[in-house]
Structure 1
Amino acid sequence: MDLHLDTYKNALLRRIDPGDLDLFKPYLRHTVLELRTPLETAGHEIECVYFPCSGLASVVAKKIRGAEAEVGVIGFEGMTGSALVMGDDRASHDCFIQMASEALVIDASQFKAALDTSETLRSFLMRYVHAFHIQATYTALINARCKIEERLARWLLMCDDRVVGNRIVITHEYLSVMLGVRRPGVTVALQMIEGRGLIQARRGEVVIRDRKGLINLANGSYGEPEAEYRRLVGEIEIQPQIVPQREPSP
């Protein structure tokens, strides 16, 4: 597959030094990932690294008794396989597709070979891993200290940063997992935000109507990790083209 730098819709691939990119560019292949496709499984060896070009992936932490909550979001600004960059080969958490995605994927062995060859490649990707770590730590803080509607506003903004248009395909049940709250709490929060005219909630989707209003509602919970990403990695210059999405089951 002949891929040119100016055609990449993944922000990391666009910013990797061309010489470093040449180390694994021949092994990148295109894939389409359907809703709930697993990308990594906690405690298991990482088999592939995904560079999303559209859609969203969720990193989800689980307890032994089944409780789970999202700890990170990955879109076209990032990648999976952070553990490989840090020298490990096993996933700490589950990672799966939250919205149907296009991605470029490479086998973990080929990706690690490139990392071992180039210190500058690892150094650059470690900056992204650090930015993702900042996102995850803010998520922990916000989930512990903020109201549900503030957390939901932040989550919607994070999704809006990573998709084209203002339509986010998601069910109430899935939102409850993402926010680590009960489904009735999500329903009430959505109704409250919709009542303010900030969103339109439909069956299986949320349409954002007032982004600035959502930022105000987030009450300071949104923005700092995004600023750190810009400092560490750079501005997002090109929005990706999203693949057609199937409607999720209720």
Structure 2
Amino acid sequence: MAYPQSAITAPRNRLLAALPPEDLAHLRPQLEPFDFPVRQILQAPDEPITAVYFPETGWVSMLALLADGRSAEVGVVGSEGMVGLPLLLGSDTSSVEAMVQCPGTVLKLEAGAFRRALDEIPALRTLLLRYTLAFQQQVAQTAACNGNHALDQRLARWLLIAHDRAEGDEFPMTQEFLAMMLCVHRPGVTLAARLFQQAGLIRYGQGQMRIMDREGLEGAACECYGTVRHQFEKLLGAPRG
């Protein structure tokens, strides 16, 4: 669903909100707001990237696809980031798929307009390069986490990541998605989620996840959550509010 241009006000995306007011004013007329439903593909592997996306609510999973049809999440993009980084780095394709995992709203910028904006707004290029470094840290830490930490630690880490990007304590989540995000079989996720629920950390049912004890989840997570969060704050500043 598209919105009239007059509906675009102060952006909720942290990257856009961090731009100087005059630069944001220059860019705003080219931004198109849309609703994005769950499972929508914003970036398909090895296909031309025709636009970049700045999420305002909800979040997008960046997935590495394997030859046997399986996929593994390598990163998450919410209101702190942007989908379409290959265009910033000089490529118009990527091997990674960007799939909406939690529905929300996004500001879309066509590829041509994005390239022009990089030339016309130096602050935008600098900001996005810093975001690229932070996202690279997230990808690297995700790989280290998946290869070295226990499932319950990884589940706690992922739930914290989702909670950071949700608009409240409750958000849509299925065991199928959790298994795909954590690169494990579904029975393992079912058991770990049940233990968290019994401990009072979460409430889960009918495709909805509710965070009941944020502090308890932070205690159950591995160090990877804090490492990535620190890197984002170091490069981009702490989230407002």
- TM-score, scaled relative to structure 2: 0.94
- Say which is worse superposed, 215-224 or 34-43, in terms of deviation: 215-224
- Say which is worse superposed, 209-218 or 84-93, in terms of deviation: 84-93
SS in 2 for 1:45: coil
Offset at residue 13 of structure 1 (A): 0.7
Residue number among 178, 181, 185 corresponding to 1:182 in the alignment: 185
Q: Confirm or deny: 8 A CA contact 2:54 2:79 kept in the other structure.
A: yes
> Aligned ranges for residues 26-175 of structure 1 at < 5 Å?
26-175=29-178
Q: Percent identity?
A: 37
SS in 2 for 1:46: coil
SS in 1 for 2:142: helix
Summarize deviations over 1:29-73 as a string: whole Å, max 9, x none: 110001111100111111111111101110000111112111111
Choose between structure 1 and 2 for higher RCO, CA contacts under 8 A separated by at least 6 residues. 1
SS in 2 for 1:91: coil
SS in 1 for 2:220: helix
Q: Confirm or deny: 8 A CA contact 1:197 1:210 kept in the other structure.
A: yes
Paired residue total: 237
Q: Confirm or deny: 8 A CA contact 1:40 1:94 kept in the other structure.
A: yes
CA RMSD of aligned residues (A): 1.4
Q: Which residue does 1:247 correspond to in 2?
A: none
SS in 1 for 2:225: coil
Structure 1 residue runs of 5 or longer lacking an equivalent are 239-250
In 2, distance between residues paired with 1:147 and 1:203? Answer: 26
Q: Which residue does 1:9 correspond to in 2?
A: 12
Q: Which residue does 2:236 correspond to in 1?
A: 233
Offset at residue 18 of structure 1 (A): 2.9
Offset at residue 177 of structure 1 (A): 0.7
Offset at residue 90 of structure 1 (A): 1.0
Q: After the TM superposition, list the runs of 4 or more consecutive aligned residues in structure 1 that deviate by more than 3 angstroms.
A: 2-5
- TM-score, scaled relative to structure 1: 0.90
Q: Which residue does 1:195 correspond to in 2?
A: 198
Summarize deviations over 1:192-250 as a string: whole Å, max 9, x none: 11121111111212111001110110032311111111111112114xxxxxxxxxxxx
- Say which is worse superposed, 92-101 or 113-122, in terms of deviation: 113-122
Structure 2 residue runs of 5 or longer lacking an equivalent are none
Q: Confirm or deny: 8 A CA contact 2:171 2:208 kept in the other structure.
A: yes
